[in-house]
Amino acid sequence: MTLEQLHLLFLEHPVICTDTRKITENCLFFALKGPNFNGNAFASEALDKGASYAIIDEAEHNTSDKSILVDDVLTTLQNLATLHRQSCQAKVIALTGSNGKTTTKELINEVLSKKYKTIATKGNLNNHIGVPLTLLSIEEDTEIAVVEMGANHKKEIAQLCEIAQPDFGYITNFGKAHLEGFGGVEGVIQGKSELYNHLTAHNKYIFLNADDPIQLEKLGNYIKKFGFSGDNPQYFNIQFKSADPFVALEFEDVRVDTQLVGKYNFPNACAAITMGKYFNVPSTDIKEALEVYQPKNNRSQVLEQNGYQIILDAYNANPTSMKAALENFRNMAAETKTLVLGDMFELGRDAEKEHQAIADLAKEMEFENVFLVGENFWKVQSSFQIFKSFDDLKNFVGNNPPKKGSILIKGSRGMALERVLDYL
């Protein structure tokens, strides 16, 4: 079966499943492989559960006339996504960066959906499997697709760009994320910039934060760009007003009071505004979209619980986002402030240095009620309360609850620090 024939089959059955636990009637099952699973072994089960066809790449599992044998299932899925993207009229906006990708994607989608039929990456399905699945969710009447791209090593964004072939792109920032895979901060800049490289090579449009010196340096002479800035008159002007705790901003004499915590979310909102202006979304609609959006999934959520105001930012963490969160928390008005900070992952040889730097920064900012938890924080030199494991933390907090007031909870996803809410 040719790729074109498979695409026609997909148009008849436009739902892709890769997990037999989530099979829907008449879907196409793609038998992907991973370190600990082989989808080929589940092809018959997928068909029994209602899948119309199973795409496999091992001949021994080709036991049904509803099985389609290909050379490589993942490559086929990616090529199918590219072909589908090429056959649709939707414009594709690609988005990457070290911090804030998912929030920015959600904000862009909120704004653009005020005027257009849009689709966007679900959750953070932003890798070599998630990006194709997002592209395959584009429908005939979709006008704009907002596609998030994640990476933890070089060449990954370049590959995702080849699959998605974006018309527009935006990089949120360059930070100390995935240092182990990228080989350092310069590697992060090179890896994320693969999006810019692809767009400039294909003469496509770029959105940029003109207050970011790295972006400005790389794109200053590129013509097809539209950016935002607080003080550079060459770019669309957006003014930061406050963040205590929620971000307030102003553009074109329109004040926007968001439900986003922290000044670090200001450029994320600015990106959504900038794209809204480029695509001619009315300013009043942009304001409404940003003001109704509420963060979720442990991303800078503000919760009230048992007399505490909790900033729950436990979806992920790296040195750059951790520093930004501490700076924002320091500037908030609160009588009592408590930090609960968990390990930052994927820092490789920089792990010890970066965790020590965060502990030192918290001390420098004169935070007094500080709980550090995790194998990496356990190694730092500090006068703060340090716990090697979450169990140690929960036992202590359960018996010694923090003073009532504001609490910032932040750590990498693997720490799952939202669990501490059960013990406050």
Q: The CATH number of 3-71 is which of 3.30.470.20, 2.120.10.30, 1.10.760.10, 3.40.1390.10?
A: 3.40.1390.10
How far is residue 290's CA from residue 295's CA, in Å, rounded to a whole number? 11
Provide the token pair at 280: 């001619």
Q: Tens of pLDDT along 247-277?
A: 999 999 999 999 999 899 999 999 999 999 9
Residue whose C-alpha is closest to residue 191's, from 180, 201, 182, 179:
182
How far is residue 120's CA from residue 56's CA, in Å, rounded to a whole number? 28
What per-residue confidence (pLDDT) applies to 296?
83
User: Binning pLDDT at 50, 70 and 90, where does residue 84 land?
Assistant: very high
| Residue 309, strand partner residues | 304, 406
What per-residue confidence (pLDDT) applies to 106?
96
Burial 263-277 (b: 16+ CB within 10 A, else e): bbbbbbbbbbbbbbb
Give the residue-averaged pLDDT of 296-324.
89
How far is residue 249's CA from residue 229's CA, in Å, rounded to a whole number? 12
Provide the token pair at 404: 């009532």
- Inter-residue contact 124 to 148 (CB < 8 Å): yes
Beta strands 337-342 and 369-373 are: parallel
How far is residue 263's CA from residue 248's CA, in Å, rounded to a whole number? 9
Q: Tens of pLDDT along 189-225?
A: 899 999 999 999 999 999 999 999 999 998 888 999 9
- DSSP H stretches of helix in 193-260: 194-201, 213-219
User: Binning pLDDT at 50, 70 and 90, where does residue 177 land?
Assistant: confident
What per-residue confidence (pLDDT) applies to 118?
98
How far is residue 70's CA from residue 52's CA, in Å, rounded to a whole number? 16
Measured in degrees and rounded to the nearest 5, phi and psi for residue 377 equal: -65, -30
Assign 3-state DSSP to the chain and report helix, strand, coil percentages, each to 5. 40, 20, 35
Q: Please state which architecture CATH assigns to domain 88-292.
A: 3-Layer(aba) Sandwich (3.40)
Measured in degrees and rounded to the nearest 5, phi and psi for residue 91 equal: -85, 140
Beta strands 33-34 and 37-38 are: antiparallel
What per-residue confidence (pLDDT) applies to 266?
96
How far is residue 184's CA from residue 353's CA, in Å, rounded to a whole number? 13
Whether the predicted pLDDT of 121 surpasses 80: yes
- Inter-residue contact 329 to 340 (CB < 8 Å): no
Provide the token pair at 373: 């938890």
Q: Could you give the percent of the chain with pLDDT greater than 70?
A: 100
SS3 186: helix
Ramachandran category for residue 397: left, alpha or beta (phi over 0 → left; psi -120 to 50 → alpha): alpha
Measured in degrees and rounded to the nearest 5, phi and psi for residue 122 equal: -80, 130
**Which DSSP string do the residues of 144-165 spell out, in sequence order?**
EEEEE---SSTTHHHHHHHHH-
Beta strands 337-342 and 406-410 are: parallel
How far is residue 328's CA from residue 180's CA, in Å, rounded to a whole number? 27
Q: Which fold has domain 301-423?
A: Protein-Tyrosine Phosphatase; Chain A (3.90.190)
Type of residue at 344: M
| Residue 256, strand partner residues | 249
pLDDT: is 181 or 46 the higher one?
46
Domain boundaries, the chain: 3-71, 88-292, 301-423
How far is residue 163's CA from residue 165's CA, in Å, rounded to a whole number? 6
- DSSP H stretches of helix in 64-124: 73-87, 101-112
Beta strands 16-17 and 33-34 are: unpaired
How far is residue 393's CA from residue 388's CA, in Å, rounded to a whole number? 8
Q: Tens of pLDDT along 240-253?
A: 999 988 999 999 99
What is the distance of C-alpha 308 from the center of its chain? 28
* Other residues' Cβ atoms within 10 Å of the Cβ of residue 418: 18
How far is residue 295's CA from residue 244's CA, in Å, rounded to a whole number? 16
Q: Tens of pLDDT along 91-116?
A: 999 999 988 999 999 999 999 999 99
Q: Find where tokens 């399905």 sit.
A: 125
Residue 350, exposed/middle/buried by CB under 10 A (0-12, 13-18, 19+)? middle
